[in-house]
């Protein structure tokens, strides 16, 4: 089973992604509400993939990605930016992510993106 870490401060959006991923019996989802909590959890559980909201209460998703990329244990974990700002805006302002998804999350897009990065 693959481990997915979702760093998102909005509980309703976490609930939605949890419901979407519950259809998959090959993915176990872990959650963090803040960037610092997510970074700590990433070091603890060593996820196979990370979804990061760009706007978090304690730091930006870009700062989370920077800290993850600086550590050997988490440097190569695929990371997906999720934002309500639009994919093009997020891609432009958040380089370095392996993929970008727009809120509200589309079921097909999230499955396709996760599968392509895990294969």
pLDDT in tens, 17-57: 999 999 999 999 999 999 999 999 999 999 999 999 999 99
Res 103: pLDDT: 84
Res 10: pLDDT: 94
Query: Which DSSP category does 72 fall into?
Result: T
C-alpha to C-alpha distance for 90 and 113, rounded to whole angstroms:
16
Res 93: pLDDT: 55
| Whether the Cβ atoms of residue 58 and residue 34 lie closer than 8 Å to each other | yes
| Whether the Cβ atoms of residue 50 and residue 80 lie closer than 8 Å to each other | yes
CATH (residue range 2-118): 3.40.50.2300
CB neighbour class for 88 (10 Å; exposed up to 12, middle 13-18, buried from 19):
exposed
Using DSSP, state whether 73 is helix, strand or coil: coil
């Amino acid at each position: 089973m693959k481990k997915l870490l979702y760093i998102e401060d909005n509980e309703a959006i976490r609930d939605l992604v949890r419901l979407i991923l519950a259809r998959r019996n090959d993915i176990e989802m872990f959650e963090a509400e803040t960037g610092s909590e997510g970074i700590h959890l990433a070091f603890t559980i060593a996820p196979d993939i990370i979804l990061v909201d760009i706007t978090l209460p304690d730091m930006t998703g870009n700062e989370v990605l920077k800290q993850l990329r600086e550590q050997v244990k988490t440097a190569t974990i695929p990371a997906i930016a999720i934002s309500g700002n639009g994919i093009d805006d997020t891609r432009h302002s958040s380089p370095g992510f392996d993929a970008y998804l727009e809120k509200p999350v589309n079921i097909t897009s999230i499955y396709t993106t996760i599968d392509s990065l895990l294969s």
